[in-house]
Structure 1
């Protein structure tokens, strides 16, 4: 039996990461299925706001991505009714039209080749925090994946259907994983659908925690070194995949039609 009680933390972290690669069971899914389940999972988590918000993922051909059809709520999205569009929002596959606000997604995809999925929603607590014109404060371990990884746009540029808003939002996002938009909502720019879904869940929880903490007193900061360690520990691809697998299982129990073609 191996004795690990005297092992340094770095060794234990690596051991845990290796174990996750071996033991965390992740179901293989088609991209359209992942996107549909992300819509359903985020709907259940309070990210719906009527027909507002968009969720997109880069498709197999460069310069194209999948998105939902305007007129359908997140709880109505299936793998089969997603649209394939180009960066000019011309529909290549599917029926109907995309949300015109998807234009700023095209700007982000152009600026960030590392981004493969974008989630833009107006969940209740994020929207409430955005009204205060204050950035997201990450001061709790569960929200650590967003530590120093959530930008802030303090000036509302208006309805994001023009190229101007695309330039403003993509520039403000920079190289971060997420951004809080004042008087608007949030944007998550993930390396994968799994990561984007996980971070979208967290940013709403973070906003909810922040509003509660602000009402009770002054929020204390996290130690930078430990917060960065927690960020890196919780934001591995395998952890994101495992988180998504849980959200997907839960969504499928509530929305058995999500994977229909």
Structure 2
């Protein structure tokens, strides 16, 4: 005899949450390994744009973070070839130099102490949407983690190498976890590497769905209360860990060497 068929939705949500909290996903990967896996996951998901884009995460030393070496594509990143840099982008550990566009990451880290990972890429559908100067529209359950959580910078400030661009992007992001940058690309932040990776994966899918829907008709909105419910239900630390573990397993089937 089933015991849950007469339970109200709130009770079922609570039961599912309790069960979810008891599960463990993923391996005991280091931050370097998670960054390398994220690069391969996003490369496979269409985030490749030559040498454009940066991924960073804080290290245990205040004012420093890991990032990729300039000259390496996302499909070449390994745990061992990542750099450790300071807020001036001076290399603390590793060989080579970082992308000078990493400067705006420093501004975001300073403004957002809750952020531990930043991912900035130029995937095709995000880039195409950015050319229309259209903000991201979230109107599907799958993309609800970005509902009311994606800022929009309409005016392109030029290449993100100066401090001015860092201030503009950090201010435009505000307290949200994602931002669509007109004529540029996307940027997401996370309290964990897993969270940032899943959001980066999701924002490109959201842009692709939006462009497809716009080409077929007028996008219909979803009820705000249901969108917020889905946002909070889907986007949790445990679900991010589960999704990241899946994408990592898939990436490791073809990118086993990224963990060194």
Structure 1 length normalisation: TM-score?
Answer: 0.98
SS at structure 1 position matched to 2:253: helix
SS at structure 1 position matched to 2:119: strand
Instruction: Please tell me whether residue 178 in structure 1 is matched to residue 178 in structure 2.
Output: yes
Q: Distance in 1 between matches of 2:62 and 2:234?
A: 30
Q: How many residues align?
A: 260
Instruction: Please tell me whether residue 52 in structure 1 is matched to residue 52 in structure 2.
Output: yes
Q: Which sections of structure 1, spanning at least 5 residues, go unmatched?
A: none
| Aligned residue in 1 for 2:245 | 245
| Aligned residue in 2 for 1:258 | 258
| Aligned residue in 1 for 2:201 | 201
Map 1:46-125 to 2 at 5 A. Answer: 46-125=46-125
Checking the alignment, whether the CA contact within 8 Å between 2:57 and 2:65 is kept in structure 1 is yes
Q: Distance in 2 between matches of 1:135 and 1:246?
A: 29
Q: Which sections of structure 2, spanning at least 5 residues, go unmatched?
A: none
Q: Distance in 2 between matches of 1:91 and 1:141?
A: 42
Checking the alignment, whether the CA contact within 8 Å between 2:25 and 2:241 is kept in structure 1 is no
Q: Cα deviation per residue 1:52-71 (whole Å; 9 max; x = unaligned)?
A: 00000011111110000000
Checking the alignment, whether the CA contact within 8 Å between 2:67 and 2:83 is kept in structure 1 is yes
| Aligned residue in 2 for 1:188 | 188
Q: Distance in 2 between matches of 1:14 and 1:191?
A: 23
Query: CA offset at residue 23 of structure 1?
Result: 3.0
Instruction: Please tell me whether residue 150 in structure 1 is matched to residue 154 in structure 2.
Output: no
Q: Distance in 1 between matches of 2:23 and 2:117?
A: 26
| Root-mean-square deviation (Å) | 0.9
Query: CA offset at residue 83 of structure 1?
Result: 0.2
Q: Distance in 2 between matches of 1:75 and 1:144?
A: 29
SS at structure 1 position matched to 2:97: coil
Structure 2 length normalisation: TM-score?
Answer: 0.98
Query: CA offset at residue 5 of structure 1?
Result: 1.2
SS at structure 2 position matched to 1:128: helix
When structure 1 is superposed on structure 2, of 26-35 and 148-157 the one drifting more is: 26-35
Q: Distance in 2 between matches of 1:259 and 1:144?
A: 31
Instruction: Please tell me whether residue 166 in structure 1 is matched to residue 166 in structure 2.
Output: yes
Query: CA offset at residue 191 of structure 1?
Result: 1.1
Query: CA offset at residue 2 of structure 1?
Result: 6.1
Checking the alignment, whether the CA contact within 8 Å between 2:152 and 2:179 is kept in structure 1 is yes
